[in-house]
Structure 1
């Protein structure tokens, strides 16, 4: 049997890197999509040291064609994707009177739209027991007006996850977002590693009691 596979969309040094390491320690091989080639090389080395086979692609995930091709390569390698983790969002420090419509749409294309691309690309390689996990934020409920687009992204992606879960559930695939109700930090409850643990737990919920949104308050 081949090892399970997680594809991490928006891979980097924060929560997404911690998620990749958490799953690698549990025996998963890993596909990484990110925008910073040096970060991907470093993360890939860490994952390989944990015993994972790693594929990595530098890609702008708002480029639907390139993202689809990358995910399909990862899926085709082992003919499976067991977990798709989605992490990207755009932070743009502009309040609603400064933010333009094109800027808002650009940010939503990254923080929400790219999830559609990723799931549609991964779906042919997912089967019963597959999971889609998304890093959520309290900005969905309590947005900071100085970063107005971030709240829109996090509210939108949480809503989209509900639709994805309802669509995929009949085939035994579930989707979940973990709403991080705190500020990421280098120590304490809100370290990237602790959030990654919460995402691992959310992906491994008992199906009969499935929650599409799981709050993480430390």
Structure 2
């Protein structure tokens, strides 16, 4: 089956919010993709964001409310996306945000939800759309975090920020990215992660509002990663 064009394939933005994912959606729209699906929990937020994309980029965009920690729901919504936007999925951008909890107060439910949204739902989503991705020479792109790295500075930050659930789930995600990359490469599918090493301006971790790394800069990293396809992991900044 011949690859479809950017105008035919769908970009799925999973874990949509006003920061990195919003900038990634706009970036891919500017690169010629004309069908974009936005996923998060709140339909009203998604409807407003989709309407803005339609107005500013003259594309088809629609929001789909879903809990990314529910693998079954994620698989179901992917089928709805293909039907509603009348196409196949060419790019899956995965950007879940789980509630942070510290190592001494994390709950089993909190950790399970973070791992489900970062790993379990990701893998099952890829299983559901692997044929689409292969037909499109597609890509799976993920937002990683410096907290996932085995580096004393980032480990101390994890403790200070009470973000053990996120650090653990993002570390598991990083290994999953590595496995998926090698498993899907023979099918012509690229898998890569941008590991964000600083707080991003306007996002929940920019508590002091002193961050200098912009969502637009991170989005540019994703576009470069997908275009070059020469590295599994790149860092921002």
TM over 0.5: yes
In the alignment, which residue of structure 2 is the partner of 1:118?
Answer: 125
* Aligned-pair CA distance for 1:69: 1.7
The alignment's C-alpha RMSD in Å is: 1.8
In the alignment, which residue of structure 1 is the partner of 2:28?
Answer: 23
* Aligned-pair CA distance for 1:65: 2.4
In the alignment, which residue of structure 2 is the partner of 1:88?
Answer: 96
**Unaligned ranges ≥5, structure 1:** none
In the alignment, which residue of structure 2 is the partner of 1:129?
Answer: 137
In the alignment, which residue of structure 1 is the partner of 2:177?
Answer: 161
* Aligned-pair CA distance for 1:104: 1.5
SS in 1 for 2:89: coil
In the alignment, which residue of structure 1 is the partner of 2:207?
Answer: none
- Between 1:123-132 and 1:39-48, the stretch displaced more is 123-132
- Between 1:4-13 and 1:122-131, the stretch displaced more is 122-131
Is the contact made by 1:108 and 1:153 (CA closer than 8 Å) also made in structure 2? yes
Please report the TM-score for the alignment, with normalisation by the length of structure 2: 0.83
* Aligned-pair CA distance for 1:188: 6.9
In the alignment, which residue of structure 2 is the partner of 1:65?
Answer: 72
In the alignment, which residue of structure 2 is the partner of 1:212?
Answer: 232
In the alignment, which residue of structure 2 is the partner of 1:53?
Answer: 60
Structure 2 residue corresponding to 1:190, chosen from 189, 198, 213: 213
- Between 1:72-81 and 1:47-56, the stretch displaced more is 72-81
* Aligned-pair CA distance for 1:60: 0.9
- Between 1:114-123 and 1:83-92, the stretch displaced more is 114-123
Is the contact made by 1:79 and 1:125 (CA closer than 8 Å) also made in structure 2? no
Structure 2 residue corresponding to 1:202, chosen from 217, 221, 225: 225
* Aligned-pair CA distance for 1:131: 0.4
In the alignment, which residue of structure 1 is the partner of 2:206?
Answer: none
- Alignment coverage as a number of residue pairs: 213
**Unaligned ranges ≥5, structure 2:** 203-209
Output the CA distance in 1 between the equivalents of 2:212 and 2:231. 22
Aligned in 2, Cα 1:93/1:62: closer, same or farther, shift over 3 Å?
closer
In the alignment, which residue of structure 2 is the partner of 1:97?
Answer: 104
Output the CA distance in 2 between the equivalents of 1:103 and 1:67. 19
Is the contact made by 2:10 and 2:87 (CA closer than 8 Å) also made in structure 1? no
